[in-house]
Structure 1
Amino acid sequence: MTAGELARRGFGDSDRAASLLRAAGISVERHGRIIDELGRAADPDLALLGLTRLLENDPAPDELRDALREDPDLRSRLVRVLGASAALTDHLVVHPGDWHELRGPDATRAPGAAELRAGMMHTVGADPNATAPAATLAHDAAKGPEHNLRVAYRRRVLRLAGRDLTGSGDLDTTSAELANLAAATLDAALAVARARHPEDAALCRLAVIGMGKCGGRELNYVSDVDVVFVAEPTEDADEQAAMRAAARLASVMMRIPAETEDGGRLWEVDAGLRPEGKNGPLVRPLSGHLSYYERWAKNWEFQALLKARPIAGDAELGAAYAAAITPIVWASVNRPNFVDEVQSMRRRVEAHLPPDGADREIKLGPGGLRDIEFSVQLLQLVHGRSDPSLRSGNTLEALEALSAGGYVGREDAAGLSAAYRFLRRVEHLLQLHRLRRTHLLPGTDSADGAAQLRRLGRAMGFTADPVSELIAEWRRVAAEVRRLHEKLFYRPLLHAVARLPGEEARLTPEQAGDRLEALGFDDPAGALRHLEALTSGVSRRAAIQRTLLPVMLGWFSEAPRPDAGLLGFRQVSEALGTTPWYLRLLRDDIRVAERMAWLLGTSRYATDLLLRAPEAVATLANDEDLVRRPASGLAAEASAALRRHGTAENSVAAVRALRRRELLRTAAADLLGIADIDEVGDALTTVAAVTIEAALRTARQRVAEESGAEPCTRMCVIAMGRFGGNEITYASDADVMFVHDPVPGAEPAKASGEANAVVRELRRLLEMPAADPPLRMDADLRPEGKNGPLVRSLDSYAAYYRRWSSTWESQALLRAAPVAGDIGLRERFVELVDPLRYPAGGVTESAVREIRRLKARMEAERLPRGADPTLHTKLGRGGLSDVEWVVQLTQMRHAHEIPALRTTGTLGALRVATEEELITAEDAEVLRAAWRLASRVRGAIMLVRGKGGDSIPTDLRERAALAGALGYRSDDESEGPSGRLLQDYRRATRRARAVMERLFYDD
C-alpha cells in the first residue's frame, strides 16, 4: 500500500505507517481489513504503533494477526482501544495475552455489581460471601494481592473501553460500571487490609460510603473516588480501640489503589468530604456522624451527601448509615442561607479557575458539567423534600425524574441530558488517552494540542474536519448548557403565574413559592405577584419580560435584597411602559439587565434615583457612560439648561435633574466596581460645585430682577469640610461659607441685604420640593457658628479672623476651597485665610495642646450614645476623624515651609507628608487603608439604606446587604460576608488607631 493510500485512510505520517506495517507483518493482500480498521481509529498512527508494539511482545503474534483478520468484533475493539488510549496500549504490551479480554461473549456483556465484586474478591483470594472477607496472602508469591488487584482492574477497564469505544455501551452503563468496579476494588482492597492486619479486623466493623460520582454511579475513567468511613466496634470491643483499628484498616485500603508500583496507580481515594474534612478523624461511629450533621455541618455538606451510598465493607452498617442520614439530607434545604451557600460554591469554583485554561474547562467552566450538576441538585434539594421520586444521586436519573414530575420541561430535560452526555463523553475520551485525571480540552496553539483535538474529534465521530467540528460543537453545547442552566431553575416560576402556551413545566403556586424562597426571596407571594404583573398578557413587553426574567431572577437572587430588586424592576418597567428604546435595550444588551438587577437588589439609594427618572437606565449600557464627567463639561451643560428655561425654579430644577443623573451615574459606577472611592469623591464634589454655581447665578439674577437695580456686591461660596476636601459623600450636606464684597461706592447695609437675599434664594432653589433630591447647604462652620451672620463681607471675615479666630477655626480652614461665584473674590479669600491655616513658623505648642484637647473632647461628647466606637466610621477609633486629624496637625506644623502640603484633600496631604518623610510609608499606608475603608463603608451605608448613617449596622440583614454592596460574597470565608467585613474593618481601624495615638499625641 502506497504512502498516498495510507494518507487517504487517515494516517498522519504515511511513510512511517508503511514501515510499521511491514515490521508488523501486515500486508494489504492478507490484512486489508486490519488496515481499513486502523484508518477508522481515533488516531490511526497511534493505533498502528500500538499494534506493532503488541505484536513484538506477544509470544504468539501469528495467533493475534489471524484473530484480527477473522474476528471483526475483536478487530474493531482492539484497534479502537489502541487508537484512543496510550495507557491501555502500555498495559497490553506488558500483558500481551490480555487482548483476549476483548474477544468472545464476555467482551460484549456489561457485568453487574455483584459479579464485579466477586471477581475482584477472587483476585485477592477472598471469599465474597464471607461477612468480613479477608485476602489470602501467599508468602511465596513474587507479587502480592495488591499487584493482582491492580492488574485485574486494568483488565476490566480494557474490556469496558472496548465496548465503550465501539458503541456497545452508552454513558449510563459505562459510568455505572466504572463506579461498580471502583466499589468492588475498594472492597477487595479492604479484604487485603484485613489480611494484613487481622488484629484490627477483629475489633471493628467498617463500612465505606461512596460520595460524589462514585456514590452517584456516574464515575469517570480516572477520578478521585470520594469516600466517607463509618465504623462500629465488634462485640465486647472498646469503642476507641475499634476506631483506631478501623482508621488503620481504612488507611491501608486507601493506599492500595493509589500506589504507583506493580501495575500503576488506579486513582486516589479521597476522604476529604468526611465531617470536619481533613481536620477531622478519618473514621467515626454512626452516632458521631449523626451528631456532627445535626449540630455542626455546613450547608454544602448536605449537598455532598445527596450522592452518598454504601459501596464497600460491612453492608448492614452501610445500610444503617444511609437510613439515618437520608432524612437529614432532605430536610437541609430548610436551613438558613442554604441555597445562598450552594450558589456561592458555583461562583467560587468559577472564580478560582486558572485564567490560562478557564476557556477550555469542560467541567468547571461556564456551560460545563458543574452547571448541569448544580442545576439538577438544587432542584432536587428544593423539591425532593416533598417528592421522594427525585432522590437519586445520579444526575441523569434525577433529571429524568424532575421532568416526569413536571419540575422541568421535557424539551429542556432532553436538551440538558444530551449536553451532559456529550460533555461526559469528551471527558471520558480525554482521560482514556493516558488514564489521567483531566477536564481540560487541549489548546490549538501547538502541534501536540491540535493532534490531541483531532484524535478527540475523530473518536466523537467528526470526520470531515475533526478539530473545527469538535470545537464548534463544544461551544454550542456550552452555550446551550448555560442557557438551560439559567432557564431550568427560573422559567417554571413564570409558568406558575402566567398563562403561557406550550408544554413546559408549570409549577403550582406553592411549588413556585418554595423555589423563590430557596432563591432568597423573603416574600415569595409578593414576588409571584410582581412576576405575574410583568409577564401576563400577549403584549410585546410581556413577551420580552418572559425572555429576560428567567435570567434576571438568578441575578436578583445573587443581590443582597432580591425582593427589592424585583419590585424596583417592576416599577421601572411600568414607568417606562412600552417605550421602544427600553425594550430594545433590555432585549439586545443583556448587560443592562444584569446591572439593573444588581443595582436594584442592592441599593435603595440607586433605586430611588432610577425611579425618579427611569430613562437613566440607558446609562448602564456602556462603561464610558458611567465614568466621571469633567467639571467643564458639566458646567457647560448646566449653563445650557439655565438658558433653556424662563423661570428661576425651572432653571434650577433642570440643573438639579443634571445632578440627579450624575448621582445615579456615580452610584452605579461605585456599586459596579467601575469607580474607586477617590473617583466617587471627585464626582460628587464636582457635581455639587457645578449645581451651586448654576443656582447662585440664577439666584443673583432673580434678586436683581426683583430689586430692579444693578447688583451692588460680588459673591462667592467657600466649600468646607469634606466638600472642600473633594471628599463629599452621598449623604453629605454641602458645608459652605458665604462671602460677599460690595462694589466700590455701594452702601454696606444695602450690599449686605442683597447678599443675604441671594443666599436665601439660593438655598430655597436648591432645597425646594421636587422630583430630584435636594442639595442642602450647611453654613455652621462660619465664624461664630449658628450665632453668627449667614453672610459676611470679606472685610468682616478679615476683622473676625484678626481679632477672634480660634485654633479650631484655623484647622477648619485647612479644607476651605472656593467653588462658586466671583473669581477675583475667591482668590482674595484664599489670600486672606492662608496665613491662618498655614501659620508662619508652624503651629504653636499651646495650639497643639488645644487641638489635642478638642480631639479628646469630640470623642467623649460627639459620639452618639450607645454607638460602638469600633464601628463608627466617622468618630470611632481609627475612623475618618482619627486619620484626618493626624494629617491636619501635620499640615499646620509644616505647610508653611512645604507648599505641596497646602492641599485640602486628606489623601493628597498624606501622600506629600510621606514623600517629605514627615510620616513613614508604613504608617501612611495604615492610615490610608483605614480612611479608604471607612469612607467606602460610610458611602455604602447610604447606598444600601437610602439614608445616611455613620455606624456599621447591627441588624444582620442590613449588615449583610452592606457587605454585598462592598463586594463581599458569601463564599469569601467561613464567617460569611458580614463577618468578613467586620473583621477587615476592625483590623484596619485598630491599626490606624495605634498609629494615630503615636503620631497625634506623642511629641
Structure 2
Amino acid sequence: MISTNNLPAELVATAATAWQHIAEHSDTAAIAALEQSLAAHPDSAASLPGMLACSPFVAGLLRRQPGLLTGLLAGGLLQRSLEDGELMEELEQLLAAPGAELGPVLRRFRQRHMLRIVWRDFSRMADTLETVRDTSWLAETCIGLTQSYLHNQLETRFGVPKGRFSGEPQQLIVIAMGKLGARELNVSSDIDLIFAFPESGDTDSTRRSISNTEFFTKLGQGLITALDQITAEGFVFRVDMRLRPYGESGALATNFAAFEEYYQDQGRDWERYAMVKARPITGDPQRGAELMATLRPFVYRRYVDFGVIESLRGMKQMINAEVRRRGLQADVKLGHGGIREIEFIAQCFQLIRGGRDLGLQQRELLRVLEECSKLGCLPPESVAELRSAYLFLRDSEHAIQGYLDQQTQALPAEPLQQSAMATVMGYDTWDGYLAALDEHRNRVAGHFRDLIAEPESDREEPVEELPLWDEDLDAATLAGLGYEQPEQSLEQLQVLQHSSRVATLQVEGRERLQQFMPRLLLACAEAEQPDRALQRILPLVTAVLRRSAYLALLLENPPALGDLVLLCEASPWIAQQLERQPVLLDELLDRGSLYTAADRALLAAELQQQVARLQPGDLEAQMDALRYFKASHVLRVAASELVGRLPLMQVSDKLTWIAEVILEHVIAVAWADLTARFGQPQRDSDGYGFAIFGYGKLGGIELSYSSDLDLVFIFDADAQGVTDGERSIDNVKFYTRLGQRIIHILETRMTMGQLYQVDMRLRPSGNSGMLVSSLRGFRSYQQDTAWTWEHQALVRARLVAGDPIVGQGVDDVRREILCQPRDATALAEEVVSMRERMRSKLSPAAHTVEFDLKQSVGGIVDIEFMVQYAVLAWSSRVPDLARWSDNIRILETLAREGLFEQRESEALIDAYLAFRSAAHQLALQQQPGVVPGERYRELRENVEAIWKRLFRAQVE
C-alpha cells in the first residue's frame, strides 16, 4: 500500500482508490515489478500518491500499462532531463523494429513520454521551460519521423517528386506555428502546422507520375491522419491546419512561389502576428531557411512599424470583447490577465520594432521580453513581473491539462480537482492558490491595459472641428491659425492633394493622410514661422505616402510630431536628412536620446549591441546597421546643437567620435571577411598589423556634418609574408584588399546612402601611390620624397582606428618628421606661396567683398597655415608642438612656450571658433560658408595682422 501521509485529506481516498484499481487491473508480475522499481527509487515512490490523486490521466495510464512507469524508472528517464535528439533516436529504433506499425508505435511512444513529462512537471522535478521544451521535442519527433516514413511509402508508389526548374528531389517543409514554433508547447495542445514545398513539378515515376502538389497533399493528409486520428490507443497530437494560406479553403500544401505571393499580396496583420513564431521543423533546413527569409519582410518591416498599431489595437479590443462575451474570466490563457495577454504584449513589440531591432526576431516569449527590457521597450521591473506571471500561468495550465490530458485552460469548478490543482501548484488550499493567481493576473492586466492606449478623445475633437485638409481648406483658415503666407502654403498643400502619389494611395494610406494633415497643420501653426516649417516638412510627407506607417508613428506620438516641426523649422538640412531617410523618424520617439549626443564609450557600446544582433557574416546587414547608426547619431548631434545643448567644440568632438567608432568597426568587419577567405597575414603581433590615420578635419578632431574622411592606410608586416589560409595570398595583397574592402563598406550607396566619402589623396605619392603603405615605406617617403605641403598635412594626422602598435610606429615617424630642423625663412616662403595659389584656385568669394569663412584673407585656412608653419618651424626646439593634431591645443602650446604672444593666441582661437561655429550653422541651413564682408571684421583684422607679423618677420 502506498503512503498518503503528505496529501490533503480530501485527496487521500482518491490516491488510495487509484492505486487499488492499478493493482486489480494488472497481473501479479507487473505489479511486483512496479513495486520493486518504486522500492529502488524512494523519491519517485514518494511522488506516486500525489500523481495518482492529482492526475486521473496518469492513474489511467498506469492502470492500463503499469509497465510504462517500471520502464521509465529502470531506464533512469524519469529522474533526469533529456538530451537533444534522444527522443528521435528512441523513436527511430521503435519504428525500425520488425513488424512495427506506425500508428500503434506513435501512440505508445506518446503515452510513455507524456507520463514522463506530466510526472516530472507535477512533482517539480522539471521546471516550466523543460516541460514545454520536452513536449515540443515530442511533437517534432513524431512529426519528423512520421513524415519520413510516409514519404518513403509514397515514393515507392509514385516516384520521387522533382522540381520543375531545378530537377532536384523535393521535400515537404512542415512549418510549426504558435507554441510549437517557439518550442513552448503545453502538455495537451493542438499543433498548428502549415505545409509547403519548394517547387512545382512532377514525380519521376514512369508508371504513375503525379504532380508535386498532389504528392505533398497526399503526404500531408497521411501525416494528419497518423497524428490526429483517435484509435483504441488514443491519439498522438491534434492537428490544426487553419493558419495556412486561404485557411480551410486553401490548398493543403503550397509551393514556395505561391506561398510568397500569398503573403505579399494578401497577407493580413493577424497573419503577421501568427508568423512571428513560425519555424520549419522538417525537410531540408537550407530550403526551410530560404522560405522564412522570403517571409521576413512581410512579418518584420524595415522600420519601426507604427502602422500596425491600429490593427493591434483592434486585436486588443477583440481580446477584451471575447473575454466578456464568452465569460472567459476563469480561463488562465484567454481570460483577464492571462497567457494570451502576455503573448500579445511581447508580439506587439516584435511587430512594431522587430524590423529594426533584430533581437526581437525571436520566437521564445521570455527571450523576447528580455530583449524588450534591453531595448527600453519595457522597464526591467515590468519584464520581471510578466516573466513571473507567465511561468506561474503556464504551470497552472499544465496542472489543468495534466489532470485528464484535455485541452482546456479553464480553472476547475469541482472541489476535488481544485484541491488537486492547488496541491500541484504548491498551495495548501484553493483559496491560497487563487489569491496568488489574482495577484499575477492583475499585474498582467495592468501592463496589457497600458499597451497601445486608445486615442485621446480630447486630442481628437479640435482637429475634427477644423476643415484642414479636404476641399474646404482655404487660405482664410490657415491665416486664422497664424500662417503668415497662407496663399503660398495653401498652394503647396493643394499640389500635394492633387498629386499622382495621393491619387494612387490605397484606402489605408489615404485615411492616414487625412488623419495626419490636420495635426501637422496645427503643429506647424505653433512654430515661430509656420509657413517655413510646413514648406520643409511637406517633401517628407510626400516621400512617405506609400509607407504610411511613418505617418502612423507621428499620429501615435504627438511629442514626436512637435519635435519634427521644431527641428525642420530650425534646419533645412535636418528636414532633408529626414526626407531622404525617413527611418530616422524613429529617433523622435525618445526625446531624452534625441537631445543627448553620446560620448565615445557609449557610442562604441551601442554600435556593438546593434551589430551583435545581426547574423554573422551578413555584410549587407552590417552595412545597413552602420548607416543607420551614423545617421541617427549625427541627427542627435544636430538636434542638440540647435537647442543649444552642444557648443562648437563638443559638436566636432561628437561627430569625430562617431566616425572613429564606425571606422573601428569597419576594420573588424573587413578583417573578418578577408581572414575567413584567406586566413590571417603573417605578422609579429596579435593585432591587425594595420592602422588608419585620419588627416584634415578628422585628424584635427574638427569634423562637420558633411565632412569627407581624409584617410591614410598603413600596415606593418613582412612584405614577403603570406596568409595562413587554404587560399593563401601575400601580405601586401591582403592589406591592399583590406583597404579596398574598408573603402567599399564606407562608400557603397545603399538605401540610406553612403557612410562617408573617402579621400585617399594624402597617402604617399597621392593618387599614383599604393592604396596601403608599409610603415617602412611611409617613413622613407616622408623623409626623402614628401613635399612641404605633405608635411603640413602631417601636422593634423593622428591614429583614428586599428592596431595601436602600428599607430604608435606611424606617430613616431610623424613626430620625427615634424621635429626636423628647417630653414624658417625658406619654409615661410613656401607656405605663403602655397596659400596664395590655393586662394586663387578656390573660392570666388575669397576675392569679393563677401567673407568666405574658409578661404578669404583672415579666414580659417589662414589660421591653419600659421599653425602648421609654427609646428614645422619650431618643433625641433619645442617638441611638444608635435604632440597635438588639433589647432586649438597647438595654439595654446604656442602661447605657453612664448612663441606667440598670449593675446595673439587668444585672438586666433576666438576667430577660429567663431568662423567654424558660423560654418556649422550655415551648413545646418544648407547655405554656403560665406557671410557679408562686414561680419567678423575685427576678428578678421586680428588674423590678418598676426599673419603679416609672422610671415613678414620670416620673409623680410
Pairwise same-fold verdict (TM > 0.5):
no
Q: How does the TM-score come out when normalised to structure 1?
A: 0.43
